[in-house]
């Protein structure tokens, strides 16, 4: 289970939970061509140092380890998302994309002074989007000021914008997000508080946001991050995270052509437990209940967004 201290000059944040070693083989057979549309690579720190401005230091999670997990779980492809521990230094991401033989696309983090040449280089490596993190514990300041400037630069490339925020911040950011002209992908359904009613005001606002903005997609991922009651995806549990299921199912059923799913491996910043990724895959049929919905969620939608060319 332990992956040792991070190599190089880095020491993991206190209490850091390492990714689950030896995940089970999922019972749910993924459809051919399935995409894990939200995962990360971390370092290795000795080769790709963590960013000085990071809010946490993870354990290493290399491209080889990610691709081994992909093959074990039965995914065909990955979308690798830049995490805040690497800041706007996309070298680990680009290295992983280049090693993937075209089987991974990326979402980068860039600063407003990025040049067209640098963007072209990222595009050639397989980057198709930029991520803006509005989760306050992960960044020094929310990127409202730089977003418009960066979007103007990436829109001509056909890229989209990934936003990560907490449900309680959506009211304040609603109009701003609604003004983004490119496709927009919201991480983890905008992190709903699942102790609240799925028919309540908070989640209704998120559903309205998707309804009013047909360019908005969302990842129905990370039940392990959102769940309060569990049960956890451990010890063979086939009905994990039941409190998150109604939220994710609602989104999949109302917006079947604008949903994505990913493992979130190596699951940064989990405090409570580290899920068995095989059992996380077994969570999928609880939220996408028919083969048609599964095909859209896992194959058709991510391919349309990331492998259109």
Ligand X SMILES: O=C(O)/C=C(\CC(=O)C(=O)O)C(=O)O
Query: Under the rule (CB under 6 A), what is the footprint of ligand X?
Result: 83-85, 133, 138, 164, 187, 264, 268-269
CB nearer to ligand X: give 124 or 240: 240
Buried/exposed code over 186-213 (b: 16+ C-beta within 10 A; e: otherwise): bbbbbbbebeeebeeebbeebbebbeeb
CB nearer to ligand X: give 33 or 88: 88
Q: Is 216 helix (H, G, I), strand (E, B) or coil?
A: strand
169 is catalytic: no
CB nearer to ligand X: give 82 or 199: 82
CB nearer to ligand X: give 11 or 212: 11
Instruction: Write down the least CB distance from residue 116 to ligand X, Å.
Output: 25
Please provide the DSSP assignment of 131-199 as one string: EEE--GGG-SS-THHHHHHHHHHHGGGT-EEEEE--GGGHHHHHHHHHT--S-EEEGGGG---TTS-TT
Q: Quote the CA–CA distance of 135 and 140 in Å, as a whole number.
A: 10
Candidate list 60, 187, 264, 277, residue with the active-site label = 264
DSSP letter at 213 equals -
The total of other beta-carbon atoms located within 10 Å of residue 157's CB is 17
Residues contacting 48, CB < 8 A, separation 6+: 86, 89, 91, 92, 95
Instruction: Write down the least CB distance from residue 117 to ligand X, Å.
Output: 26
Instruction: Write down the least CB distance from residue 266 to ligand X, Å.
Output: 9
Torsion sign, CA atoms 283, 286, 288, 291: positive
Cis peptide before 231 (omega within 30 of 0): yes
CB nearer to ligand X: give 117 or 251: 251
Instruction: Write down the least CB distance from residue 187 to ligand X, Å.
Output: 5
The catalytic residues are: 264
């Amino acid at each position: 289970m332990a992956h040792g201290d991070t190599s190089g000059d880095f020491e993991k944040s206190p209490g850091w939970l390492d990714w689950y070693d030896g995940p089970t083989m999922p019972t749910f057979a993924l459809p051919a061509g399935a995409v894990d549309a939200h995962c990360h690579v971390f370092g290795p720190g000795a080769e790709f140092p963590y960013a000085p401005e990071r809010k946490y230091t993870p354990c290493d999670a290399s491209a080889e380890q990610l691709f081994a997990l992909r093959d074990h779980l039965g995914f065909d492809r990955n979308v690798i998302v830049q995490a805040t521990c690497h800041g706007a230094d996309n070298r680990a991401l680009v290295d992983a994309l280049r090693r993937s033989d075209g089987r991974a696309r990326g979402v980068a983090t860039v600063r407003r002074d990025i040049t067209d040449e640098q963007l072209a280089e990222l595009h050639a490596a397989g980057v198709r989007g930029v991520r803006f993190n509005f989760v306050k514990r992960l960044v020094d300041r929310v990127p409202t000021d730089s977003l418009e400037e960066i979007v103007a630069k990436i829109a001509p490339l056909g890229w989209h914008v990934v936003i990560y925020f907490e449900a309680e911040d959506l009211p304040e950011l609603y109009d701003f997000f609604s003004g983004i002209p490119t496709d927009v992908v919201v991480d983890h359904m905008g992190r709903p508080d699942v102790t609240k009613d799925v028919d309540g005001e908070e989640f209704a606002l998120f559903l309205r946001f998707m309804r009013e903005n047909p360019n908005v997609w969302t990842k129905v991922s990370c039940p392990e991050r959102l769940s309060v009651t569990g049960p956890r995806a451990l010890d063979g549990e086939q009905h994990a995270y039941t409190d998150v299921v109604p939220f994710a199912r609602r989104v999949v059923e109302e917006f079947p052509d604008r949903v994505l799913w990913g493992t979130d491996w190596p699951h940064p910043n989990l405090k409570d437990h580290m899920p068995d990724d095989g059992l996380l895959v077994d969570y999928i049929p609880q939220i996408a209940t028919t083969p048609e919905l599964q095909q859209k969620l896992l194959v058709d939608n991510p391919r349309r967004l990331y492998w259109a060319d």
